[in-house]
Amino acid sequence: MSERVLYVTGGNAGIGLATALKFAESGCHVSIFSRREEANASARAAIEAHGVKCVTFAGDVASATDVAAAIDKTCSQLGRLDYAFNNAGVEQVPTPLTEQTEEDYRRIMDVNVKGVWLCMQHEIPRMLESGGGTIVNTGSVASLIGMANIPVYIASKHAVLGLTRAVALEYATQNIRINAVCPGAVKTALYDRFIGDSAEMEQAIEAMHPMGRSGDPEEIASAVYWLCHEATWTTGQAITLDGGFTVQ
């Protein structure tokens, strides 16, 4: 992976940062696109400690202008684009359907679906310039099953998987591979926001996974790395990483 370039959305914490660091350890330069400039700076320092280049951009993945500028600058500053991890996402607070709002719907669908769609639109032409590339989108076990009280989130993650499969078919003959990772509960800031201060909620979530625990960001990062670097005959797939959650 030496001298290749990874672009990550939501890359300054959690699964995104764990993935950026894993690629950096292999000599890959990294571009991070996330909202918070201060967190971007901290992530850049951690990545550059591995002796690679890192550029960061603060913006909104639901903004075509922001996405286009970040990817253009990634290529101009780092020289190319080989891998993309479209990871940025937001959760939904469990609420009865009749109490959910249009604002909830727009926020979740804009980030989780429109953000992935926009990123792929701008990533793929740049990858084609270098002869091909690999994209991984962050889905969820929510891409595969239903859950009560979070229907918009469920719909958004089903849509991520649909986008992954459809676009993978469109570019399968052009050396662009596109897959999704579908994690169960992973210990990130999103996880912390979801459970709040409730030890009972955390215990209940962990008990839902047959392995008896939630996942770590590094475990998802390993799957992203495998899909990008080693799974050379894999496209349009959903790799489920959930401690057995969806097997029950």
Tokens (6 digits) for 101: 């709002």
CA distance 91 to 32: 20
Structure confidence at residue 111 (pLDDT): 98
CB half-sphere exposure, 150, CA atoms < 13 A: 19
| Cβ atoms 23, 78 nearer than 8 A | no
Structure confidence at residue 202 (pLDDT): 85
Q: Which residues of the chain have pLDDT under 50?
A: none
* Site of tokens 């940062």: 17
Crossing angle of the two packed helices 151-170 and 102-109, in degrees rounded to 10: 30
Alpha helices of 4-150 — where are they, by DSSP H?
A: 14-25, 37-48, 64-78, 102-109, 115-129
Q: Report which DSSP code applies to 49.
A: T
Q: What is the pTM of this model?
A: 0.95
Angle at 109 between CA 35 and CA 170, to 5 degrees: 100
Tokens (6 digits) for 145: 């099953």
Structure confidence at residue 212 (pLDDT): 93
Q: Which CATH architecture has domain 5-185+217-240?
A: 3-Layer(aba) Sandwich (3.40)
Where exactly are the structural domains of the chain? 5-185+217-240
CA distance 32 to 16: 9
CA distance 159 to 165: 10
Structure confidence at residue 147 (pLDDT): 95
Structure confidence at residue 248 (pLDDT): 84
For the annotated catalytic residues, the residue numbers are 153
* Site of tokens 């089903």: 158
